[in-house]
């Protein structure tokens, strides 16, 4: 598609303010060309074969005892240094709150286009934004998903800014996840041999999670597009709530040490946790901010809520912690520089860390 034609098609789609859900409601049976991904980006690595790959599970139930805490620190360390992902269980967020958040998000997305339109914007100064693809006009191809984005830092939005379907539920869920984030961001410095409060004191990474609430409608031609392009996450840490539809994949090494896509299956009651780019930078590559994606599926809708810690711009300095005798692998930067770079480039399949790697 020629660039001028593509721009016109993108604008026409965006102007509907109805997102991908609007296309599905209109009865599309073919994926529009703006969503077509290049074959090489769809098939850039095989699906993981051999024994069933399982994302590590970390049990947070025993943190009150020295033995339980040491065990959790060890498990988090092992996961962060290898696959960069783990499933957290006994995390303290009630299952009822998880179910309510997914139901509220589903309810908002399934309202009429007219009901959702007042929240539709690409104005980053708005604390609550609904749109399809934050990088719609930058990315090589659009992703098959719509997003309701809520910035909870430094203070939550006023209740009236949040869609009624999500209002009470989102604020409660964000508060609960912030508690879990505090726990995890206490364990991670210990896994690096640092004091428990190191990250909070030096980075203000707990100023409330930003919620990216994704809705992936069933896709008529899932082999042509993606739900989310391959990427690693900005921020220090991401906590993800996902339903049981599936589609999330993480890039791991297979039995022959070649990159392969592995499914991150839903575990009842669990929250998926992954290391973000800022933690990989600060750990000087000891922790891995691993690339992941969401494949489009003929089943659906898939609903998920990604809670990003420390993804918002600030002047806080990010500097690698270098072990004795080692060399820094990144130059010093700021959260603001990294966040601006991420937004400007969009989900192009290239890690933001390349921008600051020495």
Cβ neighbours for 21, distance < 8 A, ≥ 6 positions apart:
109, 110, 113, 146, 215, 217, 301
pLDDT at 118 over 60: yes
pLDDT in tens, 159-180: 999 999 999 999 999 999 999 9
What per-residue confidence (pLDDT) applies to 204?
A: 59
**Per-residue pLDDT band at 203 (split at 50, 70, 90):** low
Which of 77, 48, 245, 62 is closest to 145 using CA atoms?
A: 245
Which of the four pLDDT bands, split at 50, 70 and 90, describes residue 158?
A: very high
Which of 68-82, 178-192, 209-223 bottoms out in mean pLDDT, i.e. has the lowest?
Answer: 178-192
List pLDDT tens digits, range 28-82. Answer: 999 999 999 999 989 888 887 544 578 999 999 989 899 999 999 999 999 999 9
Tokens of 348: 């192009």
* Residue 146 CB neighbour total at 10 angstroms: 24
**What average pLDDT does this structure show over 283-301?**
95
Residue 30 pLDDT? 97
Residue 347 has what pLDDT?
78
pLDDT, tens only, 318-350:
888 887 778 999 999 988 898 888 888 877 778
Which domains does the chain show, CATH number per domain? Answer: 3-355 (2.60.120.330)
């Amino acid at each position: 598609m020629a660039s001028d034609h593509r721009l016109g098609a993108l604008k026409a789609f965006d102007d509907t303010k109805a997102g991908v859900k609007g296309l599905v409601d209109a009865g599309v049976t073919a994926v529009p060309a703006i969503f077509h991904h290049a074959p090489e980006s769809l098939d850039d690595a095989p699906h993981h074969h051999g024994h069933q790959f399982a994302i590590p599970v970390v049990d947070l139930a025993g943190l009150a005892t020295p033995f339980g805490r040491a065990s959790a620190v060890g498990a988090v360390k092992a996961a962060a240094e290898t696959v960069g992902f783990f499933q957290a269980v006994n995390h303290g967020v009630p299952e009822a709150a998880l179910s309510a958040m997914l139901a509220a998000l589903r309810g908002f997305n399934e309202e009429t286009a007219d009901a959702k339109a007042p929240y539709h914007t690409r104005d980053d100064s708005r604390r609550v934004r609904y749109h399809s693809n934050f990088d719609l006009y930058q990315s090589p191809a659009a992703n098959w998903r719509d997003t309701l984005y809520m910035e909870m830092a430094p203070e939550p939005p006023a209740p009236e800014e949040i869609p009624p379907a999500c209002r009470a539920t989102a604020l409660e869920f964000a508060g609960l996840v912030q508690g879990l984030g505090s726990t995890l961001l206490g364990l991670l410095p210990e896994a690096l041999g640092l004091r428990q409060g190191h990250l909070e004191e030096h980075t203000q990474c707990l100023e409330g999670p930003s919620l990216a609430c994704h809705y992936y409608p069933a896709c008529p031609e899932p082999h042509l597009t993606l739900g989310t392009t391959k990427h690693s996450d900005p921020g220090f840490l991401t906590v993800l709530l996902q339903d049981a539809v599936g589609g999330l994949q993480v890039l791991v090494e297979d039995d022959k040490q070649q990159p392969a896509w592995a499914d991150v299956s839903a575990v009842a009651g669990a929250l998926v946790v992954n290391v973000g780019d800022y933690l990989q930078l600060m750990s000087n590559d000891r922790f891995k901010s691993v690339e992941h994606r969401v494949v489009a599926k003929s089943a659906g809708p898939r609903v998920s809520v990604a809670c990003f810690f420390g993804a918002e711009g600030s002047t806080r300095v990010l500097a690698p912690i270098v072990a004795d005798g080692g060399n820094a692998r990144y130059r010093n930067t700021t959260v603001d520089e990294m966040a601006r770079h991420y937004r400007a480039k969009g989900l192009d399949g290239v890690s933001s860390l390349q921008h600051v790697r020495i």
